[in-house]
A and B are shown apart, each in its own frame.
Chain A
Amino acid sequence: MMPTLFFQSGVGLLLIASFLALVFLHVKQSRIRKCFLALIILACVLFLASSLSVLLGGDALAFYLMLSGLRVSLSIDVLAAFFIGIIGLVGLSVAIYSLSYVEHVGSERKKNFMLSMMAVFILSMVLVVASHHLLGFLVFWELMSISSLFLVLIDFEKEETRKAGIFYFVMTQLSTVFLIFAFALIYNHAGTLEIITIRGLPPFIASLVFVSLALGFGIKAGAIPFHKWLPYAHPASPSPISALMSGVMIKVAIYGIVRFILLLPDKKLWWGILILILGTSSALLGVIYALKEHDLKRLLAYHSIENIGIILIGIGLYMLFSWYSQPAIALLALFAALFHTLNHALFKSLLFLSAGSVVHATHTKNIEKMGGLMKTMPYTAALFLIGAISISALPPLNGFVSELMLFQVFFSSGVIASPMMTLVLFFALSLFALTSALAAACFVKAFGIVFLALPRSKEAEMAKESGPAMILGQAILAVLCIGLGVFSFQIFQQVGQKAGISFDLPNLLLISATAVFIGAVIFIAVRGISNRNVRISETWGCGIASQNSRMEYTASGFSDPILTIFSSIYRTKKINRRSFHDHDSAVFKEGHAEVLLLRFFEEYLYLPVVRLIRFLSSFLYKVQNKVELDPYLLSSFVAILALLLYLGVAIR
């Protein structure tokens, strides 16, 4: 009973916080805002508690809420509890971070409105996950979309924010359209709205449902080619909101995929292949686009696409291995996907929050204007470094563990009876390995350019460390990143006992302890034998008297070799025209050079659709308004006649 009560009071607290923040929209005192945030923090702790009790106790909850006279059935099983736990954790640290961040968000109205919408946003995500009915799922899904749209539009004065908002709105509505279609099909053929029982779908309908669910959730998760809203929406919205959207909201889409894939009957082989292709291409293209990016938040947004890809790879592998009846390996893949979902939520929120601190301190999102922040913002730098190590999948942090599990699944592809499929999987493995190495390269760039060496602008030089609340919010996530990695062996022993499978993970606690021991021995030995003199001097500048930031390597310079190697993917066009005074091309007259970055998906996928819609709507507009009265009447007459005929036939 307690967990249910926790959950219900969490919902209540968020409703109160959101309502009060709207009522006191013009309040100036920051103390009041701290109270709103305290309510949100408390609610997140309550959600976390109820989720933990389900995860540890194992008893699913089923109850209902009365929301303004509507009876909303909820049920929380282990899967839902896991995602509610993620929402609670990230929500908690984002809310703590916001205690001081919110004071930097424009006017009083904006601050209070942001808090109100944040409460609604967290609430809607929790309720989506807990929904017992398809209808409730849809309603809360829409609430989640709308509240996050308002949050993206907080800085609505800026042209680019409005553009991002519209883009986001269209994409998210498109996602809902596919979901409504899929849910309508389920209701028509299975005759139930309850999420836990979907049976009796004919094979063709099941495939149709699967495709529209994959599209609907894929758009929301940001899988390539539906990813375009992420790099627009993230830079536009305030950083805590980016952390929530990237850390949690796209995970709700992952929840949807996992939930419905587990439910749908007689799965086909090509479903798994489709998800695997979607995942591999998102992972690889996501990181390749991220390497090109110099906008810190957009870079992180592309990495979200990459990590969603990695999670989808896990889900795809789960489907493939269960199709080939290898339940143990399939379960390992599913656990890898879910664990990576948790890990990505943690380290990506951490990275977005520290990026928020950096952007706030330097007043720019362009990493080419940063540098040297290690000295002015040491705590933020250390926290960003932890996030960077984790996202680069380096041991002993959590990002490594989930990727290791996926590697293990890939390595056991030999058990599949079909040689063709084994080869396909090894090919996917190589792309996955490339992804993880490129992510490391990208974060060497991001951390190195932002935090190391000399500041590249006045603003970066004047940067100040952010307040204790902002540090604390990130520190919670950083500690979890380290803890979930170092203690992964012990955690998965417990999980394995519950789930009845064994995970063959290395004991990272033992290895970290060994590393610390070796480090201590080396340190003492080096101190013993070596010269202890230390001199601080200037970096060698090839004979130039004083070194300045313009001599440093830039972010574009750093990623140039990789960009050159993958130039066929970027479709970069280099136009280089020169004219000369003489025929031998010796005396240069004038020249013109430009680099064109082709936006592949916009050019070939989005814009054609936009053009089609524009063409149709202008045609309809003409039919309605521009055409003379006679043909208009005629067309109405014909339509009514056809309708009557049809009805006459149908009735008879």
Chain B
Amino acid sequence: MSGFIAFAIINVVVVMALAPLYISLVKKMKAFLQGRKGPGLLQAYYSLWKLFKKEVVYSSNSSFIMRVAPYISIISALVAALFVPLLFIPDDYSGFGNIILLLYILAVGKFFMALGGLDAGSAFGGMGSSREMSISSMVEPVVIVLFAAIAFVFRSTNLFEILREASHGLGGYASLWLLLIPLVIVLLTETARIPIDNPETHLELTMVHEAMILEQSGRNLALLEIASAIKQLLLMGIIINLFMPMGFNLQVLFPAGILIAFGAFAIKGAFLAASIGVIESSVAKLRLFRLPNLFALSFFLSVVTIMMEVLL
């Protein structure tokens, strides 16, 4: 149990420390590709600090939902952080790591965020919640079948076991590479990025996630921002440790092994965040009603993976 507590503390600290950095990095990459200089890499931390120091404004229409939604959303993100090993795998992880539970813990945060969008009675919030729930229900079968495919390939539903198996290299699991595309699509969807949503817009025609949290302010907004940053980092962590496990779960002594793993993870994460920036800059946002096609593609690839595993 003490091993797990050490793991939990390290994982949560890594998540909190790196999550805002990758948000900035994606922005920096997009700015670079557009020929701008862009804000510095620490900008996300400054913005969060600024939000914590601002007063909170609640709508007079709102109820306690709007007040608890930010907390539930950050709690769900942090509990989810205990399910995704980033640097190493503890010896004892009983009770944690079930991938279905991981998905549904993240869904709790989304459920309350969507309710929070409706709470102020603004048309923007309602629109955001409605679109977010539509997108999330369309992507849900894709996510489940994707994770079913991963579980099927590794014969386990526990993320700790899956990643331990993957850390020995993906030599025996060639079909898994097909899942990279659906995983990236799910990452872009869950973090509200182009082509599904646009994190930078505040135009009512295009915004989804931003519309939902439009009425949130001050520390509550900061908590919601951290929660989405953590969610992005966790999904990135799954991709990184599944496909690029170099440096992950080193069997080296405590301080050195952790530091090397942290350095390796930070670099791989930076690479993936930069790639997200490139993807965001090179495609256009899709119409809401075109999204099912995109999800159908990732669904198809997951099914093909399962077929390969079943038939070959």
Q: What per-residue 1/0 map shows which CB atoms of B217-251 lie under 8 Å from chain A?
A: 01100110000000000000000000000000000
Query: Does B141 lie within 8 Å of A448, measured CB to CB?
Result: no
Query: Does A515 lie within 8 Å of B121, measured CB to CB?
Result: no
Which of chain A's residues has its CB closest to B289's CB?
A: A564
Q: A414-B155, A426-B306, A440-B133 are in contact. Are A433 and B140 (CB under 8 A)?
A: yes
Query: Does A453 lie within 8 Å of B306, measured CB to CB?
Result: no
Q: A414-B155, A453-B61 are in contact. Are A437 and B137 (CB under 8 A)?
A: yes
Q: Least Cβ distance of B32 to chain A in Å?
A: 32
A483 within 8 A of B: no
Q: A392-B111, A395-B101 are in contact. Are A411 and B151 (CB under 8 A)?
A: yes
B98 within 8 A of A: yes
Most buried by B among A408, A430, A560: A430
Query: Does B292 lie within 8 Å of A565, measured CB to CB?
Result: yes
Q: Interface residues of A, CB < 8 Å — how many?
A: 80
CA–CA, A408 to B54, complex, Å?
Answer: 45
B133: chain A residues within 8 A (beta carbon): 440-441, 444-445, 558, 562
Q: What per-residue 1/0 map shows which CB atoms of A417-441 lie under 8 Å from chain B?
A: 0010011001101111110111011
A404 within 8 A of B: yes
CA–CA, A549 to B118, complex, Å?
Answer: 12
Chain A interface main SS type: helix
Q: A433-B140, A434-B140, A436-B140 are in contact. Are A394 and B108 (CB under 8 A)?
A: yes
Q: Least Cβ distance of B293 to chain A in Å?
A: 11
Which of chain B's residues has its CB closest to A537's CB?
A: B57
B63 within 8 A of A: yes
Query: Does A419 lie within 8 Å of B59, measured CB to CB?
Result: no
| Segment with Cβ contacts to A, from B142-150, B176-184, B257-265, B276-284 | B142-150
B294 within 8 A of A: no
Q: A404-B100, A426-B145 are in contact. Are A537 and B59 (CB under 8 A)?
A: yes
Query: Does B122 lie within 8 Å of A448, measured CB to CB?
Result: no
Most buried by A among B96, B138, B141: B141
CB contacts under 8 Å to A, within B81-140, are 82, 94-96, 98, 100-101, 104-105, 107-108, 111, 114-115, 117-123, 125-127, 129-131, 133-134, 136-138, 140
Shortest Cβ-Cβ A-B pairs, 9 listed: A553-B126, A453-B121, A437-B140, A448-B118, A433-B144, A533-B55, A437-B137, A441-B133, A561-B134
Supply 11 further A-B pairs (C-beta < 8 A) apart from A394-B111, A408-B157.
Answer: A394-B108, A426-B306, A445-B130, A448-B115, A453-B121, A507-B94, A510-B95, A531-B55, A547-B121, A552-B126, A565-B289
Residues of A near any B CB (own CB < 8 A)? 371-372, 374-375, 381, 389, 392-395, 400, 404, 407-408, 410-411, 414, 419, 422-423, 426-427, 429-434, 436-438, 440-441, 444-445, 447-449, 451-454, 489, 506-507, 510-511, 514-515, 518-519, 522-523, 526, 529-531, 533-541, 547, 549, 551-554, 557-562, 564-565
Of the A-B pairs whose beta carbons lie under 8 Å apart in the complex, a sample of 10, sorted by A's number, is A419-B311, A434-B137, A453-B120, A530-B52, A530-B219, A531-B55, A534-B56, A535-B56, A536-B58, A540-B215
